[in-house]
Chain A
Amino acid sequence: MSDYRNIEEQISAYLDAQMTPEQRATFQAEMAKDAELAARVQKWANTEALFAESIPTPSAAHLDALVASQTVANRTQRPLARVAAMLAVFAFGGICGYGLSQLTTQTSTTIIVQATMGATNSHRVFAAEKRHAVEVSADETEHLQTWLADRMGREMTVPNLSAFGLTFLGGRMLPFDDRAAAQYMYETADGKRVTLFMTRLDQEENTEVQVLQDAGLTSLRWQSGAWIFVLTAPLEQQQMAPIQVEVKDTLL
């Protein structure tokens, strides 16, 4: 890949998942240091997601019918019937990941990827903060819980993760799409930050935990009903798995 000539080309390449792992790591380090850049990337990503959502995703049955009707019109042609048969069992791969090219498979995945990007970007921006890491600190946990419960429309009990050596630092509210999201932040004994991001989605689903690893951060993502949770930290997946279980149990 050629060199980037300006920051806009870098943002684009980042969003389009066109960077090499090294370029990506460098760019993410820049974003972690530069909240303005991170916000700009988020804004570009949101615009893109908005546009992607304006494009419907056809059902497998619809595509099937499209190609099948063509078969009738082109009997002399090659194996359209076979294609049609394959399409009958074809389901969209709704696999999520980073990178906008993957945003385009399915509308409902758009928002999930957006949430994941929101979670990891917020982690990078706020976990780097010393004094302003949280909006409401742990000594006002009760107020934080009431406030966020009110804004989020659900119970917002702060999971107690001290058994895993994590100290609760506090939390903040974040804008996400047209609604509120919440971020809780914890710290390990050696100062590593662990964040939990949660927000509401329009479609209810219960998913298994998905693991995403990206430039030193591990994210565990799962959905319980309408709620999506993303637990992010510069830790190994094995270290985070028991934490995730505790969080899930508390916030069910």
Chain B
Amino acid sequence: MATFDAQLKESLPHLWRYGFSLTRAHHQTDDLVQDTVERGIRKRSLWDALHPLRPWLMKIELNIFRDKYRAQSRAREVAMEDDCDVGSDDRTVEARSELRAVMKRMNDLPDEQRQPLLLVSVGGLSYAQAAEVLDVPIGTIMSRISRARAFLNQEAMPQVPGIRSAT
């Protein structure tokens, strides 16, 4: 297992992108990552060196976000649809509006579905690691992520146990 410092370095881009997926604002993300790194270093003696560092840091990051940033972020969410930077690049109009629609649906997701999806798809965690961060069983992670994705793709809610979906 790599050292704390090496893992911290390796985690930074993931922490930042995951942070951005939570705050949707550059400067808040910078603050969030700084706070996370600071708290992580302060609490490094509590880190179990047999476990990878990134999920541990992401748990810290999510906690800080929930404590400090969420109120501000909620206020931002309305504005986000209008001013969110969906690329000043040469994307087509259709691609941009499609992205807007996806972002809107991401926003509409219940928090309990969005969180595992962001941890896995943006933060790059495994299902087991996301389960640890969110303190729920791995089966719950799986079902929430698949429900979130069905919603993002505008499909019917997946059917649970035993029923093979026909959609």
Q: Which residues does A use to contact B, with CB under 8 Å?
A: 1-2, 4-9, 11-13, 15-16, 18, 43-44, 47-48, 50-58, 63, 66-67, 69-70, 74, 77-80, 82-83, 86-87, 90, 92, 100-105, 177-178, 202
The size of the chain B interface, using a CB distance under 8 A, is 63
B26, B90, B123, B145 — most chain A CB neighbours (10 Å): B145
Chain A at the B interface: mostly helix, strand, loop or mixed? helix
Minimal Cβ-Cβ distance residue in A for B125: A101
Q: Which residues does B use to contact A, with CB under 8 Å?
A: 5-6, 8-9, 12-14, 16-17, 20-21, 26, 30, 33-34, 37-38, 41-42, 44, 84-87, 89-92, 94-95, 98-99, 102-103, 106, 120-127, 138-139, 142-143, 145-147, 149-150, 152-153, 155, 158-165
Residues of chain A within 8 A of B121, CB atoms compared = 16, 48, 51-52, 100-101, 103-104
Q: Given A6-B159, A86-B5, A87-B12, check contact A78 B122 (CB 8 Å).
A: no
Residues of chain A within 8 A of B153, CB atoms compared = 43-44, 47
Q: Is the CB of A57 within 8 A of B142?
A: no
Q: Is the CB of B120 within 8 A of A5?
A: no
Which residue of the partner chain, among B20, B26, B38, B89, contacts A70 with CB atoms under 8 Å?
A: B38
Q: Is the CB of B142 within 8 A of A13?
A: yes
Which residue of the partner chain, among A51, A58, A178, contacts B16 with CB atoms under 8 Å?
A: A58
Q: Is the CB of A11 within 8 A of B146?
A: yes
Minimum C-beta distance from B14 to chain A (A): 7
CA distance A178 to B37 in the complex (A): 39
Which residue of the partner chain, among B12, B92, B122, B162, contacts A63 with CB atoms under 8 Å?
A: B12
B89, B142, B161 — most chain A CB neighbours (10 Å): B142
Residues of chain A within 8 A of B6, CB atoms compared = 86
CA distance A202 to B91 in the complex (A): 10
Residues of chain B within 8 A of A86, CB atoms compared = 5-6, 9
Q: Is the CB of A51 within 8 A of B139?
A: no
Q: Is the CB of B142 within 8 A of A178?
A: no
Q: Is the CB of A12 within 8 A of B87?
A: no
Q: Is the CB of A6 within 8 A of B163?
A: yes
Q: Is the CB of A50 within 8 A of B13?
A: no
17 contacting pairs across A/B (C-beta < 8 A) = A2-B142, A8-B149, A8-B155, A13-B142, A51-B102, A56-B20, A57-B17, A63-B16, A67-B12, A70-B34, A77-B38, A83-B8, A86-B5, A86-B6, A100-B121, A178-B95, A202-B90
CA distance A121 to B143 in the complex (A): 25
Minimal Cβ-Cβ distance residue in A for B33: A66
Residues of chain B within 8 A of A51, CB atoms compared = 99, 102-103, 106, 121, 152
